[in-house]
Chains A and B, each alone.
Chain A
Amino acid sequence: MAEIKCPMCSRPNPAELDVCQFCEARLKPLTDELSRSQPPIHAGEEPTEKTTSELEPVLPQWLREVRQQARDSAGEEPEQAPAEEEAPPEESADLLAGLQSQAKDDEEIPDWLADLRGESAQTAPEESSLEGDDLASLRNMLGEETSSVEENETGTLPGWISDLGAGETKTESGEGKLSAFLTDRATEEPAYAEAQPAASSMDFEWDADFESDSNLQADSTEDESPIDTGLPAWLQGADEESKGESESDLPDWMRAEEPAQATSPLESEEISQTVSSESDTPDWSALLGEEITESTPQEAAQSAVEGGMPDWLASLSEESTQAAPQQEDAQPAVESGLPDWLASLDEEGTETPPQQEVAQPAVEGESPDWLTSLGEETYQAPSQEEAQLAAESDMPDWLSSKSEGATKPEEFPEEVEAPALITEEAPQEASVPPAFVDDEGEPLSTDDVEALFAAEMPDWLSGTGKPAEGKASAESAETEEGDLSLAELPSWVQAMRPVESVISDTGEGTATTDQYMEETGPLAGLRGVLPAVPGVGPSSIPKAYSIKLQASEDQQSGASMLEQMLASEVNPKPIATQPIMLSQRFLRWIIAIVLLVVVGGSVFTGTQLNSMPFGVSPETKAFLEDYVQGNLPADAPVLVIFDYDAALAGELEAAAAPLIDYMILQKAPRLSLISSTPTGPGLAEQFMRLENTQASVYYQAGGQFVNLGYLPGGAAGVLAFATNPVTTKPTSINGENAWETPVLKGVSHLSDFAVIILLTDDVETARIWIEQTETARKDARFLVVSSAQSGPMILPYLQSGQVDAMLTGLDGGAPIEQFNGGRPGTARRYWDAYGLGLLAALAMITFGSLWSLVSGWRERRREQGEV
């Protein structure tokens, strides 16, 4: 068998069911049927008007059945259709007047609602199914008028209800309101009214009288159909019949009310007008609130009792004053568009816990006892199965409960339980006449009532609970004391109730007692809710955890320390500003002045305080004495290399001039000048023009010496010159072919030079010339005249024999000059300045070092003392 899984409780259900048998949730969406019955709706399409009958496939099964019953009953009473058509215009004060006005514009009004408002007979058959639902609930409410119910199983009301007629009559006790409601019902179900003429003859003739006396029903009380007054057809039909019998069949208590009603036509009119201004306020409920003040409740009840008024009606009289504020409360709800009976349901739901047991006295204010008893009687008759069906068919809880515990019609006076929809006041303790009576006026048996209401009732009509007969009486007694809200509430109203009220009603005979009901949380009161698995959801209030970091003192101190360290890394350290050292500049000036004075004064004054040195180095001595004087041929080619800077020209000139002058004096060699620096040729020229030198006197360019100029390329140039000097340096500084001049006659290789004298102040230059020309110069002597700063670095070459002799600075040239007889005298001139300058520097260094040592020591001690 095909099964459908419930979307709520996820339990399998038979496919043919529309609602879940466990949680009563819809198994099949409403749109599903619509989509199958109609094409899908596209955007931009205009909605097509539909009639209610076209939507019948969408309706639930129970509703369809009721509608079918209504159609059948409508066919039996076609004459009531015109009356129903005429009714709507004058039903301004009808119970569901507002609904009817809406129904005019909207064809999709539920049938049962339309019937309530007294629509035309055309719509009546279509809405018969809906009316059947309503009737089913009413059956439960009305009790055990089964004899009439049997005849009207399709959904007709018993005769006593139909005798009520137009329900817009107003009485001082408020029965008119109920009549109006019943009148509406009668208009919708004319079959009901017709089928039960006799049942209402005795017991509800008073309603007919009330209706006839009502100004609102002035035009309709006599001839008009129940539609005018808002009663459904079945009630209107009954009303007409009851009218015919009303005069003769009115009980004494109802006759006693007539004068009261007759004496207050104006009041009734006023009230009716007031009610009519409220579109949705039923007449009988509105009038109930207005007129009750004009009659003493006790007097009314007493008179009603004396006159044979049913207890429920008497209770209405008595409690009318009590219901006045409640009625006022109901008015806002009514004004908002809710029917009064629904409004009373709301009040009842909020004020009192709902009582599903029909036996509980639930009549409040507007609910007559007869209706309450009807509910009891009706509920007793149906079996448990029928009660379940009623529950499944969305029957109101209060009606469905009544179906289980309805009392018999014979016991109506004692088993009073007003249905929830019309209960606001405590039910009255009185013997209520049976709701259903047969044609002979005899109350219907329970079975008959059951048969009458065999159709499925909606949930709002079908209540829960199973009041027993004894409970009914007990509850009626309780209601006399003033308890409220013992009626069954619809499930949707129950859902809005507080949790406590829901929990208290769990064991009261609901149709789904076996289902799990949630007791806590937002789903409290709902059945079929998936129970929370232990551990899945929070079973208790979660423990509050502090968001503050839980750190111990040590951890906090460590963190703060780390933070300080990081901050110190980021922050730039302030640079300790040193004090402006004004002494530095002053000291420099002092030193400069001292040196200038000493050196300059010695030079300019020509002092000769210091003696000239006499001793030369062995190497130099050997070169001078052995080679120059001995082996050096006269007019030998000598290469002189000027590779020093202009800054040290004075030192080198002073050191080399005695040597060259000595060689010129001894052997008058042919001098070839060359330089690997750009300023060398110029320095060479200057050297040859030194004062007091032989060269400056006797040597001429091109005749005795030739200046070959600048040799580029550094080491490569030296190598090239050493390999082939002719091709490397073919011309002189004058542009002439130097190798064809008499100076370089017979010289084509480096080895052709007798002596190679290198004048340099740079170790690197000396190294290049020494290393690159070593193989090329072969037997040529190589002398180096260096400055005092590079002497120690070139000494290894001397010590290794790569250099034949070396003169270092002024200290090396002065002996040569002495050896040369003091010629040219340059060394002598610089010797005292040289000596005194050294001594001055020595003194300043010594004194300054000592001063710095002491001052530094004192400053460090001061800094240490400050720390």
Chain B
Amino acid sequence: MRILAAGVAIASGLLVLLGYFIPLEMLLEIRLLLVQWAIILAAVAVLVGVLNLLGVHWHKIRTRQKGTAYSILLIVSLFASAILGIVLGTNNPTLDFFLEAIIIPTEAALMALLAVTLVYASARLLRRRADLMTFIFLGVVIVILLAAAPLPFGKIPGTDFVEWLLRDNFAAAGSRGILIGVALGALTTGLRVLFGIDRPYGGN
């Protein structure tokens, strides 16, 4: 069974890969079919995730663990949204209200806490450790903030250059390196799966 699973995985990968290089209509069709199957499986995985979440919180409620109230709220909200969405449709103003009144403000508020936390951490950084890197980091932060912040009296001379230097050179270079690394990693992982070395679908 493990050999069958590995074979199916390898064959599917090779077909999709060959579709990129060999512009055959059949390969394109097979590739599209496999990708659509993956889309369906991904959608089902989302549903499975939701059901698993439901089960976890249900067990939490049943065993009377800490945070049972939140679990109850979650389950209620889940069923309510699901029922409303199924019944009323996804483009219903009610659901839009839930989005605009609950989801967006809640996530926005959490993001706002991040701003406070970052400021506090930056302010106490030198208290924990006062080394070169800390000073460099703080210096860059201050410069970028100065360069980015709109000032009443206009930009400070030289901040544009510094901003360019730091963002368009150093940061970009680092970003490029990260992206290349990610790409290479993704390529290696794909090849390992194609070669059967890694079997994330099961077996050894």
Contact = CB atoms under 8 A, between A and B. Distances in A.
Contacts, number: 179
B85 to A, nearest CB: 11
A646 B38 contact: no
Contact of A647 (B111, B150, B151, B154): B111
A701 B92 CA distance: 13
A332 interface: no
A846 interface: yes
A595 B131 CA distance: 28
Interface residues of B, number: 58
B35 A853 contact: no
Contacts of B146: 842
B78 to A, nearest CB: 13
Contacts of B168: 795
A225 interface: no
Q: Report, as a range, how many residues of chain A touch the other chain.
A: 35 or more
Given A647-B110, A792-B172, A835-B151, A841 B119 contact: yes
Contacts of B126: 849-850, 852-853, 856
B77 to A, nearest CB: 14
B145 A842 contact: yes
B138 A849 contact: yes
A122 B150 CA distance: 150
B149 A646 contact: no
B43 A713 contact: yes
Contact of A648 (B42, B111, B138): B111
A717 interface: yes
B152 interface: yes
Contacts of A724: 32
Contacts of B178: 793
A828 to B, nearest CB: 11
A847 B106 CA distance: 31
Contacts of A646: 99, 103-104, 106-108
Interface string A332-375: 00000000000000000000000000000000000000000000
B123 A723 contact: no
A251 interface: no
Contacts of A841: 115, 118-119, 145
A686 B96 contact: yes
Contacts of B171: 792, 795
Interface stretch (A516-524, A726-734, A746-754): A726-734
A712 B42 contact: yes
Given A796-B172, A796-B175, A835-B149, A852 B125 contact: yes
Interface stretch (A94-102, A487-495, A542-550, A586-594): A586-594
A792 B122 contact: no
B32 A723 contact: yes
B8 to A, nearest CB: 16
A831 interface: yes
A2 B128 CA distance: 105
Contacts of B96: 682, 685-686
A799 B173 CA distance: 11
A647 B172 contact: no
Nearest to A722: B35
Contacts of A788: 148
Interface in A760-807: 767, 788, 792-796, 799
Given A792-B171, A834-B150, A591 B119 contact: yes
A720 B119 contact: no
A604 to B, nearest CB: 15
Interface of B: 28, 31-32, 35-36, 38-39, 42-43, 46, 89-91, 95-96, 99-100, 103-104, 106-108, 110-111, 115-120, 122-128, 130, 138, 141-142, 145-146, 148-152, 154, 167-168, 171-172, 175-176, 178-179, 182
Task: List the 6 closest A-B pairs by CB distance, nearest first.
Answer: A848-B123, A852-B127, A838-B149, A835-B150, A647-B107, A713-B39
10 contacts: A610-B150, A679-B103, A682-B103, A767-B182, A792-B171, A795-B168, A834-B150, A838-B145, A842-B149, A844-B119
